[in-house]
Amino acid sequence: MNVLVVGANGQIGTLLVDKLKENDTHTPIAFVRKQEQVDKFQDKDVEARLGNLESSVSDIKKQMDGIDAVVFTAGSGGSTGTDKTMLIDLDGAVKVMEAAEDMNIKRFIMVSAFQADVRDNWNDDMKPYYAAKHYADRFLMNSDLEYTIVRPGALENEMGLGKVSITRALTEFTDPITIPREDVAELIVKALDNPKTYLQSFDVTSGDDPIEEALNTL
Ligand SMILES: NC(=O)c1ccc[n+]([C@@H]2O[C@H](COP(=O)([O-])OP(=O)(O)OC[C@H]3O[C@@H](n4cnc5c(N)ncnc54)[C@H](OP(=O)(O)O)[C@@H]3O)[C@@H](O)[C@H]2O)c1
């Protein structure tokens, strides 16, 4: 599959592009917002397309020619205000979904956030962020896209462990609620063409199950 990685210059995005590049069945295409980022990926022999999540759906569509699957792993980050959270994590995500639907791209993987589906579990300080993730996810679930919504716990930069815990409807919290970004990237690669993950949404943290085995339980 030709996989458009939206947020490719980010931390998960960078790991994901590298993993897709090593993979025999997929080809990464980086969606980034600055020319210097395009140049950086081209230097690594990765196709990169210049776009911005604050632009229009029709502009985003122009970067989607020849794409078979989209992974949305962009985010406004912790140093911007709620205005950017709404414009990137919510409206940016929805615009990419609308663009994918218009372009007849079916497969869509969303990097959401742990417990974004359960309002009662949102941290007070981060409610706007969770609300943005929640409604972006709901838009995706109501679309015609073949989605997978991945809700990782707190992201860490440690080396991947290759083992996770996947829960569709969490009933109790158990430690850890963290996960290395590398494991999230690996899970996305393995989920891309695994039909068991289609139309599924789940929390994922570090755990005891090899990633592929965990996905096959869905
Ligand atoms: N931090 C956590 O513990 C945590 C937990 C669960 C889920 N998540 C979610 O996981 C996802 C990935 O996390 P991460 O740490 O890899 O994120 P990250 O490093 O902050 O990367 C986010 C990327 O989004 C890009 N972006 C922002 N605004 C954009 C725009 N207008 N147009 C195009 N691209 C834009 C950024 O571009 P630039 O490189 O140009 O800035 C950046 O590359 C995010 O959606 C985050 O909300 C995070």
Q: What is the arithmetic mean of pLDDT over 131-159?
A: 98
pLDDT band at 5 (very low <50, low <70, confident <90, very high): very high
Residue 3 to residue 190: CA distance in whole angstroms: 13
Q: Choose among 93, 74, 109: nearest CA to 1.
A: 109
Q: Is 129 a catalytic residue?
A: yes
- Whether residue 9 is predicted with pLDDT greater than 90 in this model: the reply is yes
156 alpha carbon to ligand 1 midpoint, in Å? 13
Q: 3-state class of 161 per DSSP?
A: coil
Nearest protein Cα to ligand 1, atom 5: 154
Q: Which atom of ligand 1 is nearest to the CA of 12?
A: 16
Pairing of strands 200-206, 163-167: antiparallel
pLDDT band at 176 (very low <50, low <70, confident <90, very high): confident
For position 171, what pLDDT does the model report?
83
Residue 198 to residue 193: CA distance in whole angstroms: 9
pLDDT tens per residue, range 37-68 = 999 999 999 999 999 999 999 999 999 999 99
Q: What is the arithmetic mean of pLDDT over 32-37?
A: 98
- Whether residue 170 is predicted with pLDDT greater than 90 in this model: the reply is no
Q: What is the arithmetic mean of pLDDT over 120-138?
A: 96
Nearest protein Cα to ligand 1, atom 29: 53
- Whether residue 78 is predicted with pLDDT greater than 90 in this model: the reply is no
**pTM for the complete prediction?**
0.98
For position 182, what pLDDT does the model report?
98
Q: Which amino acid is at 38?
A: V
